[in-house]
Amino acid sequence: MPRKAEELSPVEVRRLKSPGMHFVGGVAGLALQVLPPRKGADDRETQARTWVLRVTIGNKRRDMGLGGFPDVGVGAAREAARVAREKIRNGIDPIAEARAAKSALAAQQAATITFKEAAKKYIAAHEAGWKNSKHGAQWGSTLERYAYPKIGALAVGDIDLPHVMDVLEPIWTTKTETASRLRGRIEAILSWATTRGYRQGLNPARWRGHLDTQLGKRSKIAPVKKHTALPVMEVGAFMKSLRAAKGMGARALEFTILTATRSGEARGATWAEIDLNASVWTIPASRMKANKEHRVPLSPAAKTLLEALPRMAGTDLVFPAANGSMLSDMTLSAVLRRMDVAAVPHGFRSSFRDWAAEWTSYPNEVCEMALAHTIRSDVEAAYRRGDLFDKRSRLMNDWAAFVAIVQPKGNVTPIRAAV
């Protein structure tokens, strides 16, 4: 055991300036280590002084750091030295204990990320699989506006039901659709964090059997609004006016109606996807909502429209904007506004479906496949191997013929197609 030095007062300790180990007494082995003076970047001279406790642990002499002086004062250094010596007497290595605590803290910090950090990692990991940049932008904007201000800085492992409710409750009844999507995004991020080891336990943003007991059912609060559609009997008159309208937006809308496709699918159509000889437009899976390739039969009217279109140099788009880029999603809506028609482009898919159901005898599966709707039944999907292309060709030809006629007001004899 080292000899206990004469106990120095705080004033005497402060006066120690010569480099070396200065034992200050009070606790055996406690010393102030004074390092040689050195100049900093600003040419000012500084001299570091640190506390060292010289002890024997087992049969090995060790020097244990207790902090720098004067941040750690004389009294605090002596108390820390006494605690360390007490641990040694009890068979505990204080140096190993401190190292383990530091390592555990580092591991804990490495395993702790905020909700905002987790969200950004989740988005980075999944955005390559999203169909377009708009989807990623919507994720970021809703989180930025509603979630980050309240839970963005929280450790993802600490988020629980009260935090999720704090985000969702204020907008659940006023912005129900947005809140519902936000809930799903929070749930996905927290699930990712659990899988990565950043949190444990059940997901506080899950719906079934959890949030559904806390928040009103979405369909009761904000019933789903259907896309505004023209009555079937008015489509023919509208198409006559549309054919007379000028501009690429009008042609894209006309093609969208003739093919009963989504406007985004028509706006993104390329000449490479279209085979006029075979009367087929093949939309790749990457551009379909169901992420599955879809073959669209081209009626004579649709082919005539395509054959009359000009080809723009520098782009393969069928319906390019003036600068060669894809038409915006508002271009087709603007055509309808200029024509003073109270409908939206997507609504014509509803008009088509109403016509197919009420004015024809085509089977339901043919009509649903024409709209590229996902088959909800796994059993039905397993048995439906083909795409009913020939039947859909007849269906689309009948639709094109129907919308080419301006229907008279009053009773109309429905078309009963032979399938």
**DSSP code, position 2:** P
Other beta carbons within 10 Å of 199: 24
Q: Which CATH architecture has domain 10-110?
A: 2-Layer Sandwich (3.30)
**Under 8 Å CB-to-CB from 111, ≥6 apart: which residues?**
197, 198
**CATH no., domain 115-221:** 1.10.150.130
Amino acid at 336: L
**DSSP code, position 246:** -
Task: State the Cα–Cα distance between residues 133 and 140, nearest whole angstrom.
Answer: 11
Both tokens assigned to 401? 């013929």
Q: Where in the chain is the domain with CATH 3.30.160.390?
A: 10-110
List the pLDDT tens digit at each of the 419 positions of the chain.
Answer: 555 678 888 888 888 888 989 998 888 889 999 988 887 666 677 888 999 999 888 888 888 888 889 889 988 989 988 998 888 888 888 888 888 777 666 656 555 789 999 999 998 888 876 766 666 778 888 999 999 999 999 999 899 999 999 999 999 988 888 899 999 999 999 999 999 888 889 999 999 989 988 887 766 665 545 558 889 999 999 999 999 999 999 999 999 999 999 999 999 999 999 999 999 999 998 888 888 899 999 999 999 999 999 999 999 999 999 999 999 889 999 999 999 988 899 899 999 999 999 999 999 989 999 998 876 555 455 445 567 899 999 999 999 999 998 777 655 444 444 34
Q: Is the dihedral of CA 349, 350, 355, 357 positive or negative?
A: positive
**Under 8 Å CB-to-CB from 184, ≥6 apart: which residues?**
none
Task: State the Cα–Cα distance between residues 343 and 241, nearest whole angstrom.
Answer: 14
Q: Where in the chain is the domain with CATH 1.10.150.130?
A: 115-221
End-to-end, the C-alpha distance of the chain in Å comes to: 103
Q: Crossing angle of helices 248-259/331-338, nearest 10°?
A: 100
Other beta carbons within 10 Å of 270: 17
Task: State the Cα–Cα distance between residues 277 and 83, nearest whole angstrom.
Answer: 91
Query: Helix, strand, or coil here: 155?
Result: strand
**CB-based contact 311:271 (threshold 8 Å):** yes
How far out from the chain centre does Cα 284 lie?
Answer: 24
Task: State the Cα–Cα distance between residues 209 and 126, nearest whole angstrom.
Answer: 27
Q: Where in the chain is the domain with CATH 1.10.443.10?
A: 232-403
Say what the pLDDT of residue 111 is: 59
**DSSP code, position 141:** H
Say what the pLDDT of residue 413 is: 46
Q: What is the pLDDT of residues 220-264, one digit of tens each?
A: 665 545 558 889 999 999 999 999 999 999 999 999 999 999 999
CATH superfamily of this structure's domain 232-403 = Intergrase catalytic core (1.10.443.10)
**Under 8 Å CB-to-CB from 301, ≥6 apart: which residues?**
258, 400, 401, 404
Residue 338: closest CA among 246, 419, 215, 409: 246
